[in-house]
Amino acid sequence: MERWELTAPCHFGLEAVLKREINDLGYEISHVEDGRVSFLGDARAVADGNIFLRTTERILLNVGSFRALSFEELYEETKKLEWENFIPKDGKFWVAKASSIRSKLFSSSDIQSIVKKAIVDRLKQVYGISWFEENGAAYPIRVSILKDRVTMGLDTTGVSLHKRGYRKRTVKAPLSETLAAALVLLTPWKNGRILVDPFCGGGTIPIEAAMIARNQAPGRQRCFQAQDWKNLIPRECWQDAREEADDLLDKSASADIQGYDLDPEAINFARENAKLAGVDSMIHFQQRPVSQMSHGKKYGFIISNPPYGERLSEQSHLYGLYQEIGQAYARLDSWSMYLLTSYEQAEKAIGKDADKNRKVYNGMIKAYFYQYFGPKPPKQGER
């Protein structure tokens, strides 16, 4: 099978988590940059990336990369790429998205139209035709320009990978599934340890944790754009990857995972979503304020995304809320706490500096993942 370079975009600040996931799948990393990890693989790697990776938004098949300082250069260099190796004569293709950061070419609409024209002119010449019916499989193209370096990729995913298919009901400003999974993977939490999210909303963090505990591949029950690319990805690649996902699924797994929220509607949504994800038996959802958070066992984990207070009207209530978080955490013996928030006075209100924090971008919002480390539980046989 032909070997390609594939690129997996992710939230800024979570590249190391995604890199570890790709390494665990057995693929070689080619390079890492802000918000994306590239790796080498064949057609099976496309299927594996889409089905198994928890923290990326999509898998792009890289067609080529070059430097361009003008639209003329963009056209000529795009036309030089061997698009016929990827897009068949009847393929439907368009530039689905163009992004530009710190580059001379910055107009997304102009970039999209010029790239499309260059590809059309190339394929007209190669296939000896003057008109494309475009009645075959769809090949959406994504263009990224960073510091004048242009990267062209075919989108093998289609609908973003954060849409696992279980979140039919949601609350306002929900945490994405990919970010929720990354937050869990950034902690030492393992199945067998308690996990509580006191601001669970629609239940995304508890559900993603339960899926990790079950070794449940996030993409095992959904479809992808490249499934129609018979010229590039043999059908057996998808079949084999799904069979492996089914074999790895631990249906007997159990866990002590809890989600609280003040909003009764959010709790109802969370229960529905957990059921659709197939993990409802592993999570206990309850309407409860953070001030009433308690647990009789040691060595548990709080992993949560508390309110940020993006509106000015909410700011006055935040300090007291984070004080309640700190007071509840102080009552939990030997627990660890991990909070993603952009609230700048979080540590002061909690009453304790975090042992570590990590900058993470939730969309365009700069936030910090505050990490409070509890002691490790004694090994079996130790007092």
Q: Which two tokens stand for residue 134?
A: 């475009």
Q: How far is it, in rounded angstroms, from Cα 305 to Cα 321?
A: 13
pLDDT at 71 over 70: yes
Asked which of 14-18, 118-122, 166-170, 379-383 is least confident by mean pLDDT, the reply is 379-383
Q: What is the pLDDT of residue 3?
A: 96
Residues 354 and 371: beta-carbon distance below 8 Å = yes
Amino acid letter at 56?
T
SS3 sequence of 290-359: HHHCCCCCCCCEEEECCCCCCCHHHHHHHHHHHHHHHHHHHHCCCCEEEEEECCCCHHHHHCCCCCEEEE
**Percent of the chain residues topping a pLDDT of 70:** 97
pLDDT at 107 over 70: yes
Q: What is the pLDDT of residue 309?
A: 66
Query: Residues 310-350: pLDDT tens digits?
Result: 554 466 789 999 999 999 999 999 999 999 999 999 999 99
pLDDT at 60 over 70: yes
Q: Which two tokens stand for residue 254?
A: 């159990």
Residues 176 and 164: beta-carbon distance below 8 Å = no
Sheet containing strand 283-287, strands side by side: 283-287, 257-261, 195-197, 301-304, 336-341, 365-372, 356-362
Cα–Cα nearest to 132, from 84, 70, 186: 84
Amino acid letter at 75?
Y
Q: Residue range 4-26: average pLDDT?
A: 97
Q: What is the pLDDT of residue 382?
A: 52
Asked which of 1-10, 90-99, 162-171, 204-213 is least confident by mean pLDDT, the reply is 162-171
Q: What is the pLDDT of residue 238?
A: 98
Of the chain, the end-to-end C-alpha distance in Å amounts to 54
Q: What is the pLDDT of residue 168?
A: 82
Q: How far is it, in rounded angstroms, from Cα 129 to Cα 131?
A: 6
Cα–Cα nearest to 258, from 300, 298, 307, 299: 300
Q: Residue range 225-241: average pLDDT?
A: 98
Cα–Cα nearest to 260, from 181, 202, 210: 202
SS3 sequence of the chain: CCCEEEEEECCCCCHHHHHHHHHHHCCEEEEEECCEEEEEECHHHHHHHHHHCCCCCCCEEEEEEEECCCHHHHHHHHHHCCHHHCCCCCCEEEEEEEEEECCCCCCHHHHHHHHHHHHHHHHHHHHCCCCCCCCCCEEEEEEEEECCEEEEEEECCCCCCCCCCCCCCCCCCCCCHHHHHHHHHCCCCCECECEEECCCCCCHHHHHHHHHHCCCCCCCCCCCHHHHCCCCCCHHHHHHHHHHHHHHCCCCCCCCEEEEECCHHHHHHHHHHHHHHCCHHHEEEEECCHHHCCCCCCCCEEEECCCCCCCHHHHHHHHHHHHHHHHHHHHCCCCEEEEEECCCCHHHHHCCCCCEEEEEEECCEEEEEEEECCCCCCCCCCC
